[in-house]
Amino acid sequence: MLDWSQCPEVERGPGKFRCMWRFKGTHVPATLLFENLEVGATVNDFLEWYPGVTREQVLAVLEFAERSLVDHSFQQSFLQKQTKLTRD
C-alpha cells in the first residue's frame, strides 16, 4: 500500500471524507486517477474531466506511485534473495 502522506501533491479530505487522499486543493480523490487510467482514459482525458487538478499534480502522483512500487518491488526481491541465501 502506498504511503500517501509522503506525496506533497495530495492531502486528506476534511470532515467525513478525512480518510480519502485527494489532489491538494480539490475534492478529487487520487484513486480516481488510477481508476480512470485503468479503464483506458488518458491523462489529458482526466485533466479535462477534472479541471481543478493540474498536470503537474497528476504527473507527481504518477511518479510517486511508480517510485513506491519500484521501491516495494526492490524490497520484496531483496527479501526473497536473503531468505533463499539463509536456506541454502
21-62 pLDDT per residue, tens: 999 999 999 999 999 999 999 999 999 999 999 999 999 999
Say which CATH topology domain 4-87 has.
Answer: Arc Repressor Mutant, subunit A (1.10.10)
**For the chain, what is the HEC assignment?**
CCCHHHCCCEEECCHHHCCCEEECCCCCEHHHHHHHHHCCCCHHHHHHHCCCCCHHHHHHHHHHHHHHHHHHHHHHHHHHHHHHHHHC
- Annotated domain spans of the chain: 4-87
pTM of this structure: 0.73
C-alpha cell at 52: 481543478
Highest mean pLDDT among 18-22, 23-27, 78-82: 23-27
